[in-house]
Structure 1
Amino acid sequence: MKRSDVNEILLRGDSFIRSFGYVMPPFAYFSPEKLQSVGGLYKERQMGWDITDYGQGKFDELGLFLFTVRNGLNDDLKSGKGMLYAEKIMISREKQLSPMHRHFLKAEDIINRGGGTLVLELFAGAEDGSIDRNAPVSVPVDGIMRTVDAGGLLKLEPGESVTLMPGVWHAFWGEGGDVLIGEVSTVNDDRTDNDFEMKIGRFSSIEEDEKPVHLLVSDYDKWL
């Protein structure tokens, strides 16, 4: 992705988030220079902006907009105490696919915070961790168990949420409009805890055609 495209997506996404009355934390608006001076914690916990096209160069079709608001560490999970949780705010555009994947460790609540309908395609995991294309999938939707066939579609209207446990394969996209998504989960490590069905990367490669408005989490190793 070109940095100019990332900057445009970031500013447009920030406006969309704020249109629902969601107030971003102050560090969302730190300049790259400000983050360089104070960014150790944000780098360690992978907090901040995250715009990905999964390395495929077609963001409108295959991509996701995220901001990690808070996050613990894997060491917290290993010890069973401390900050064991994470929170994200995300945007899934209409017909923009977040591709089929599972998490090894992370349990997550995916919440439709507003906009269109959030559609999730679901599969259970087989014993070896691969996709089970035959077994039905049961997940709690706002505390009530729902069962869909393998590859079935679960549709969440604004205000509805689903809990996905580790190993549940899922893909999602917006229907009828862009969707503001909340995610509340156990500790999130996007560097190690995503297993994609497709041979794709989690982060985008950035072509630096202009200065970043704000750094992405994927920029931290280079900038901080």
Structure 2
Amino acid sequence: MKRSEINALIRDAKAFYESFQFKLPRWAFWSPQDWKGKGETEVVHNQLGWDLTDYGAGEFEKKGLILFTIRNGNLASGHPKTYAEKIMIVRESQICPMHFHWSKTEDIINRGGGNLVIELYGSTPDEELSTEPMTVMIDGMPRTVAPGGTVTLEPGESIFLEQGMYHRFYGEAGKGKVLVGEVSSVNDDNADNRFHEPQARFPRIEEDEQPLHLLCTDYPDYI
């Protein structure tokens, strides 16, 4: 992805969050220069902040995600925080690809906007898609879903995903962008994503202009 494209998407994301009066921390708006000398912070060590990916496909509108990690622990360092929170924007028909987590459990929450469609499978011992139905919790109420079945979350609704539950999601066509929250155990995007089809988690960036704000993967290069 070009940095100019990333900068434009971050500008759009800031406006979308603000339209819901969802406030980000002050450092979300820092320039790269503002980060100088801030390397020894929880923000940097735990990869908080802006995160954007096209999963290596180069077609962000079709397969991609922009999000902001607000809080997180760090299993490798023994950080005492045992939970994480993200706020995401999912566009109409924009796919977050099929994956599960070995460690993380999470609530995915439709905070507003359009509808969020989640496609679900269980996993087999060899980490393939299961052909068995599964029971998931929707706002604390059980629902049985056939393999490959979908759950559509309207604004205010949420789903709980356990370890090993394959899921992919996208915004329902014709309903608009979705403001999606995630509340989870500690998040580790470097080691805890099992994509059913191998793909990159973070984008390769063509530096055609200076960053508006740093991505969480930019910290080592700029701080």
CA shift for structure 1 position 75: 4.0
* 3-state secondary structure, aligned to 2:114: strand
1: distance between equivalents of 2:121 and 2:219?
Answer: 34
1: distance between equivalents of 2:208 and 2:52?
Answer: 16
2: distance between equivalents of 1:120 and 1:135?
Answer: 17
Q: Tell whether 2:26 aligns with 1:29.
A: no
Q: How does 1:1-224 map to 2 (within 5 A)?
A: 1-41=1-41, 42-75=43-76, 82-132=80-130, 134-175=131-172, 176-224=175-223
* 3-state secondary structure, aligned to 1:5: helix
* CA offsets 1:94-127 (integer angstroms, 9 cap, x no match): 1000000011100000000001100000000112
* 3-state secondary structure, aligned to 1:4: helix
1: distance between equivalents of 2:111 and 2:94?
Answer: 17
Letter in 2 for 1:212: P
CA shift for structure 1 position 149: 0.2
Larger mean Cα displacement after TM superposition, 202-211 or 37-46: 37-46
* 3-state secondary structure, aligned to 1:11: helix
Q: More helix by proportion, 1 or 2?
A: 1
Q: Which structure 2 residue ranges, 5 or more long, are not aligned?
A: none
Letter in 2 for 1:97: I
The number of residues matched between the two structures is: 220
2: distance between equivalents of 1:151 and 1:98?
Answer: 15
Letter in 1 for 2:103: L
1: distance between equivalents of 2:17 and 2:219?
Answer: 23
- Using the aligned pairs only, state the percent identity: 49
TM-score (norm 2): 0.95
CA RMSD, aligned part only? 1.2
TM-score (norm 1): 0.95
Instruction: Flag as ranges the 4+ runs of structure 1 deviating above 4 A.
Output: none
Question: CA distance change for structure 1 residues 164 and 193 in 2, over 3 Å: closer, same or farther?
Answer: same
Q: Which structure 1 residue ranges, 5 or more long, are not aligned?
A: none
* 3-state secondary structure, aligned to 2:37: helix
2: distance between equivalents of 1:63 and 1:40?
Answer: 30
Letter in 2 for 1:6: I
CA shift for structure 1 position 220: 1.7
2: distance between equivalents of 1:196 and 1:40?
Answer: 31
